[in-house]
Structure 1
Amino acid sequence: MSRADRESAARRVMERTSPRVPPDLGADAVRLGERLLRRRALALRLAWLLLFAVTVAFTVWALTERPWVEPPSQTTPPLTGW
């Protein structure tokens, strides 16, 4: 088949029938989109909740352990009996 024959065959196929779309396709797409948005919103809420919990846990740990204070030296024995 030459290129012209292929193009004319393709045009005949496209002109012969109009594309048919299932009648419930729009409703299915809306339902799927709503479900996707609900899942995304839930994931976002869970991510914010996790971030908040990690922040609170770190704050409590930092206030109880005080990692910015230098620990006392353990290399020199205490002076006793002067």
Structure 2
Amino acid sequence: MSRHDRKEDEVRRMLDTPRPQVPPDLLPRALARGTRALLRARARRRLMWLTLAAGMLAFVVWASVAQPWQAPPSGLTPPFEGW
């Protein structure tokens, strides 16, 4: 008997064993778990978008109040007039 035949016989013996029983409630449990995972992912995505929108709103409010695009006031003394 060659090595290939022995391996093939081993595989056939492994496949001929009785298959394990699947729990009858496996499908409902898997569906419930998958549904929960999808709901959690959707909630995380919504929270991320809400946080991003709040951050953008805070930036717009800050920029409108602080007006960082304007030059800062000069630290020099104003020109002396009236001599």
Q: For the superposition of Structure 1 and Structure 2, which TM-score range results when normalised by the shorter chain?
A: 0.7 to 0.9
Kindly provide the CA deviation profile for residues 16-38 of structure 1, in whole angstroms up to 9, marking residues without a partner as x. 32353222221221111011011
2:73 counterpart of 1:79: no
For 2:21 and 2:4, locate their aligned partners in 1 and report how far apart those are by CA, in whole Å: 28
Q: Residue 13 of structure 1: CA displacement?
A: 2.2
- Measured in 1, the distance between the counterparts of 2:28 and 2:48 equals 30
Query: Across the two proteins, how many residue pairs are aligned to each other?
Result: 81
Flag structure 2 segments of 5+ consecutive residues without an equivalent: none
Of all paired residues, the percent bearing the same amino acid is 41
Unmatched segments (≥5 aa) in structure 1 = none
| Alignment correspondent of 2:5 | 4
What is the alpha-carbon root mean square deviation over aligned residues? 1.9
- The two structures have a TM-score, normalised by structure 1, of 0.82
Runs of 4+ in 1 over 4 A off after TM superposition: none
